[in-house]
Amino acid sequence: MPRPSRNIDQLLIAAALELLPNAGTRVLTIRQVCQHAGVNLGMFHYHFKTRDVFLRAVLQQMYDGMFATLAMEVERQSSPLESLRAAVTTLARFARDHRQLLVRLVNDAIGGERVAIEFLQGNLPRHIGLLSNTIAAAQRECLLRPVPPMQAFAFLVGAVAASMLIGSAVAESGLMPPPLEEQFAASILTDAAIDERVDMALAGLALPLAKMTKSGARK
């Protein structure tokens, strides 16, 4: 008997990623995924066995792709500050591209959905740790204020990404008037807008010039 196509698992994962932003992990059914992917239930169970195993694979593949890019961008830069800039930009664009799903995952986790809770608990420490280490490296070179790295991380994420996630939640609730929703997309979600917020956030964390001069760092 020929082995089922190896592409079917990716068809199912792609279908789930299209459906999850609206359904979330709590509501999405395997039947919906199979119908969307054009795959029968038998093939689903051949590849993934259970719904929870499948949802974990979907979310992990999405996150691992982002984290691989994040780590590569940090590694390829010539200074800790540029590594931090690249990392925050990468994370912000991921949040922008998956903002509806991320908001849904947080809501599902708050509601006790096990897959969402496990995903967030298992992966949040990975990118928080990477960015915190990058912040600490920049601080050691007197490029950033000597605040606790977690404080700096919270400031950067709040300044750069929070508006996208909060705005997405408000828009999805129907509370945002259409004219504001258009402004939100044009002024907050573009690559240029993200880059500008990254610049402003890093400027806010920069060590004051007087202290940089006193410490012997470059002017």
Which tens digit of pLDDT belongs to each residue from 111-137?
999 999 999 999 999 999 999 999 999
pLDDT at 1: 40
Name residue 206's beta-bridge partners: 144
pLDDT of 6: 64
Q: Is position 6 within any domain?
A: no
Nearest 5°: CA angle at 210, between 209 and 216?
85
Name the amino acid, one letter, at 214: K
> Mean per-residue pLDDT for 39-55?
93
Distance (Å, whole) CA 48 – CA 204: 47
Domain count of the chain? 1
Asked if the structure places residue 133 within a domain, the reply is: yes
Residues 194 and 204: their CA atoms lie apart, in Å, by: 15
Quick check: 145 and 152 in contact, CB under 8 A? yes
Answer yes or no: is 4 within a domain. Answer: no
| pTM greater than 0.85 | yes
Phi, psi of 144 (to 5 degrees): -135, 160
d(C-alpha 10, C-alpha 58), whole Å: 9
Q: What is the CATH number of the domain that holds 91?
A: 1.10.357.10
| Domain residue limits at 195 | 60-215
Identify the CA nearest to 29 among candidates 15, 10, 46: 15
- Residue 36, in any domain of the structure: no
* Residue 210 in this model has a pLDDT that exceeds 70: no
Over the chain, what is the mean pLDDT?
90
Q: Domain for residue 25, yes or no?
A: no
Contact 60, 119 (CB under 8 A): yes
In a domain, 46, yes or no: no
Q: Does residue 131 lie in a domain region? A: yes
Q: Give domain status of residue 5, yes or no.
A: no
What are the angstrom distances between the C-alpha of 94 and each of 68, 114, 155, 175? 12, 23, 18, 24
Q: Residue 218 has what pLDDT?
A: 47
Q: What is the largest CA-CA distance in the chain?
A: 75
